[in-house]
Amino acid sequence: MMILALLVSVAVALDTRSGKKYDLDEAQQALCISSQGYLSGADFDEGDCCSFVVCNAAELNKTGFLGKCMGGTAYNAELQVCDDPKYVPGCNPADCDVPKRTTAECPADLPEGSCCVGGREPVYAALSANSYALPDGTPQFCPAGQVFSTSDCCCEFEYEVVPECVDGPYAANPDDVCCSYLQCFANGTGYVVVQCMPPSVWNDVNKTCDIAVNVMECMNEMCGVEMTDPPCPPSVGDDQCCIAGITYDVIDDTTYKIAGDDVEKTNCCPVDGMTDVQLVFNKEDCCCEAP
């Protein structure tokens, strides 16, 4: 079942401020605990199959608030989410009392100092550096230390982006141009130095760690011990094999051990759980596999 993105938590955030408040009886209070804090709104007046009640844990579940599923969804009491109505038999969202929202696009000729959120109405107007007006003209003030940004249409902190992070989240490290790079903070106010995994080097054109042959100025740079498996010896015994730098002694068709291991620990190939077939140790591939 595909759950729609509009979850109960979104509706709660919108409706606990304005939804109707109910006094819950003892049975409903007990149900709040077993149902993880949500009750079907269909069991309450002014509720329907597109609504739910959020138990107020701060008041020991003695009260609850009515919430509404938006966007044509219905309340799935079994999953406790706002869901596609096809998964809620007998519920037609068209018959529900759901608050409507404007979907009008933001006007193209907005006055200077005005903005919309997400390209949709309502329109907000900046009054000063740290205040703005709601659509009904009511003034609002940004939290301390924040300013109202018309480009983002919200209050936000002013950040001074360091020069290294002006052009993006990744930059060359001026103190080590081949073996590391700078990873900037999301707001661009600083960065951390990250090492490329040897033998790779920093490719500042592609903004990634790359093989040295693709970065001319770093072709002869040694950035540390190469982080690959050690090589196998040039030759092994007749009853041995090697993989990823580890040599194994092959004891018989189904048992083996690490060569030179002081502890006489023998490993046995398992039985395939799907086919009940005993796996055997293949010296050519140096692993257990089906016969």
247 domain-assigned: yes
Both 150 and 171 in one domain: the answer is: no
For the record, the structure tokens of 213 come out as 């042959």
104, part of any domain: no
Residues 185 and 258 in one domain: no
Q: Does 150 share its domain with 174?
A: no
17 lies in the same domain as 91:
yes
Query: 18, 44, 19, 20: which is closest to 31 by C-alpha?
Result: 44
Is residue 27 predicted with pLDDT exceeding 50?
Answer: yes
Is the model's pLDDT at 8 over the cut of 60? Answer: no
Whether residue 225 is contained in a domain is answered as no
At residue 263, the pLDDT reads: 60
Tokens describing residue 245: 């730098």
* 158-194: burial string, b at 16+ Cβ within 10 Å, e else: eeeeeebbeeeebbbbeebbbbbbbebeeebeebeee
Do 16 and 82 share a domain, yes or no? yes
pLDDT (0 to 100) of residue 244: 82
Q: What's the token pair of residue 270?
A: 């398992």
Report pLDDT for 58: 85
Residue 6 binned pLDDT confidence (cut-offs 50, 70, 90): very low
Instruction: Report whether pLDDT(49) > 80.
Output: yes
- Cβ–Cβ under 8 Å, residues 155 and 127: no
Establish if 29 belongs to a structural domain.
Answer: yes
**Residue 105 within any structural domain of the chain:** no
* pLDDT band at residue 102 using 50, 70 and 90 as cut-offs: low
How confident is the model at residue 264, as a pLDDT? Answer: 66
For residue 269, what are the domain limits? 240-289
Average pLDDT over residues 12-36: 76
Residues 176 and 209 in one domain: yes
Mean pLDDT of the chain: 86
Predicted pLDDT of residue 61: 92
Of the listed ranges 23-32, 194-203, 219-228, the least confidently predicted one is 219-228
What total number of domains does the chain contain?
4
Which is more confidently placed, 224 or 63?
A: 63
For residue 4, give the DSSP letter.
Answer: P
